[in-house]
Amino acid sequence: MQNTDHDPPIIKTNSIQVRGSKTKQSRLETSLPPSSLANTNRDEIVFSSQKSQFADYTTWKGIENKTGIEKDDAVSFLVKELLDNAFDYLETGTRTATNLIKPEIHVVIERSQEKYVRITVCNSSYQNNLVFTSNTLKSIFDFDRYHSSKRNQFKITKGALGDALKEVLCIPNILAHEAEIANWNYPLYVISQQKLYQIQLITDRINQIIYSQIKESDSEIATTEIQHYHPECTQIILTLPKINNDYTYTKLYRFVLDYAMFATHVKLTFEDKNNEMYIEFPQLQQINSKWKNYTSIYCYRQSQFHEFILGLDNNDLVVYDVLYSTFREATNMPRSQITQMTVGQLKHSTDSIDKLYDELRNSMSPPAALTLPFDVIKKVRTKALEHRVSDIYGSFKEMKYKSTTGFYSDGKGTQIPFYFEIAIFHDVWKLQNNNLVFRQAINGSAIPNTGWTPFSGCKFEWTTKGSKNKYISNSIYDIFAHFGYAYSKDKCRKPHSLIIANLICPKIDYQSYGKSRINFSPFADEVAKTVVLACMGGGLK
């Protein structure tokens, strides 16, 4: 019979049953032979161990260490990652004359009475553009490696660095385990190209093993609890333990609104079935059908280019094909002996990787500016933001807007373009009880309102018009306060204000895996100057 962890074994000796109490144990010890006592070391140190990979995906501490988020922000983080993936697809998917769709994302939340909360994020799909396949999902949910189209590629993308869907799968199980909910076994559902994929997380806590099981079927035979919003949409359906906290749902709703505020080039709808709420934000700007989300070799140091090559999954691919689909410079580079190699062959030749790096740089000059999937002409962009803010916050008195483009170098010949925009709205109708509301985004992806701001943590130097004084601060909030925009009543001279800021750059130095902290120093000078100009500038009625 196998022992349990709850009760020590019963040992019979001299007709006495012993369960480990000190009194009975001393009587037991007198009956044991001296050899048994000699092998007992009560002062021996007791060690515990846990596999690091297992801890990363089965404990909240592991998730927190990887992503930088706290448990109260788990729901917002999950929805953010699903929205980020959907927007990345809609911005970069192949669009042709026969393959034009209206880019749209639909977020649905539904709470059962007792068991769970179900969140569905579905997005329109381009014809013949495979989003998920069985093999792709097996690679994504392989816990022994990272698998992503974003790792080592400096493009304008959103979301965590190549592991987000594993966390989307694991976090509900962690929350259920920590809430002591027994037998939690709700899978993650993915619907793509008329197929239903059911991804089940398998956790063996005794042997510290974690893996996924993926089942594929036609979506028509899905269980009745899975709702299909449109057969041509890609859908991810996430089930979470019931959260008895209305504040959590308020934060989720608030975050979706923030996301819609920056993403004016995609239609976004939000539906709360329990409260019979349906909100629609129309597409206000067109996605540039000719935009290609290429990276540039000028964003790479030589060592980083090596990491890109060595990290490629498919060793059978021809090098030229990989470069052509990734680097802007490859479109102007002639085929050579090196580019005709396979990826596997190239990985074994350090000299060839170095030569290829030089060939790419010699084929084209650095980019003149950062290209984006939507129009950044001031008149067009301000009109879109003005419309979106009116939909979310109601009327306002005036709007100020400034944007800038620039470059920074992180050493050894790199030249990285970036774009920054800031809009200030005065006397906003729905902010009558607020002095200031500040909303931020990185690459157009809204930052959950967790108290963290990416636009801080570095030295800002700035001056004002007509003054010789140079100001130095460690936060963008100090610049706001100088011009009367502040949270505190004693510093606020312009109450009921909304400020939104968005930084877009293909290469951002993230200080955490989950993109919760960045190194803002490369952008500080240009951003500070733009913020000052916005605060001082005349308003747009």
- Mean pLDDT along residues 438-446: 93
**C-beta separation of 226 from 268 below 8 A:** no
Say which residue, 145 or 39, is predicted with more confidence. Answer: 145
- Determine the pLDDT at residue 222: 52
Burial class of residue 326, CB neighbours in 10 A (0-12, 13-18, 19+): buried
Say which residue, 319 or 455, is predicted with more confidence. Answer: 319
- Determine the pLDDT at residue 356: 96
**Both structure tokens of 510:** 């993230």
CA angle 265, 267, 270 (to 5 degrees): 135
Phi-psi region of 193 (alpha: psi -120 to 50; beta: other; left: phi over 0): left
Q: How far is CA 265 from CA 99, 133, 262, 287, in A?
A: 18, 27, 9, 6
Residue 23 has pLDDT above 50, yes or no: no
**Both structure tokens of 436:** 């200031």
**Both structure tokens of 49:** 């161990």
| Helices vs strands, H then E, count in the chain | 15, 17
Choice among 222-226, 392-396, 458-462, 502-506 with the minimum mean pLDDT: 222-226
Residue 160 has pLDDT above 60, yes or no: no
Q: How far is CA 240 from CA 143, 191, 295, in A?
A: 21, 18, 36
- Mean pLDDT along residues 370-387: 95
Residue with tokens 């899978």: 187
- Determine the pLDDT at residue 7: 42
**C-beta separation of 500 from 422 below 8 A:** yes
Q: What is the pLDDT of residues 215-258, one digit of tens each?
A: 988 755 455 455 655 667 899 999 999 876 777 788 889 999 99
Say which residue, 92 or 531, is predicted with more confidence. Answer: 531
Q: What is the pLDDT of residues 270-291, one digit of tens each?
A: 999 888 899 999 999 999 888 8
Express as a percent the part of the chain with pLDDT over 90. Answer: 50
What whole-number distance in Å separates Cα of residue 300 and Cα of residue 372?
20
**C-beta separation of 458 from 410 below 8 A:** no
Q: What is the pLDDT of residues 490-499, one digit of tens each?
A: 999 999 999 9
Question: Sheet of 267-272: strands edge to edge?
Answer: 209-218, 195-204, 188-192, 233-241, 116-124, 104-111, 267-272, 277-281
Burial class of residue 6, CB neighbours in 10 A (0-12, 13-18, 19+): exposed
Choice among 15-19, 44-48, 483-487 with the minimum mean pLDDT: 15-19
Residue 390 has pLDDT above 60, yes or no: yes
Which regions of 93-136 does DSSP assign to beta strands (E)?
104-111, 116-124
| 417-450 burial: b if 16+ Cβ within 10 Å, else e | bbbbbbbbbbebeebeeebbbbbbbbbbbbbbbe
Indicate the DSSP class of residue 100: -
- Mean pLDDT along residues 423-431: 96
- Determine the pLDDT at residue 183: 86
Q: How far is CA 226 from CA 131, 138, 230, in A?
A: 19, 22, 12
Q: What are phi and psi of 216, to 5 degrees?
A: -115, 140
- Determine the pLDDT at residue 136: 87
- Determine the pLDDT at residue 481: 95
What whole-number distance in Å separates Cα of residue 200 and Cα of residue 139?
14
Task: Give the strand pairing for 16-18 and 11-13.
Answer: antiparallel
- Determine the pLDDT at residue 248: 77
- Mean pLDDT along residues 106-118: 86
- Determine the pLDDT at residue 509: 81
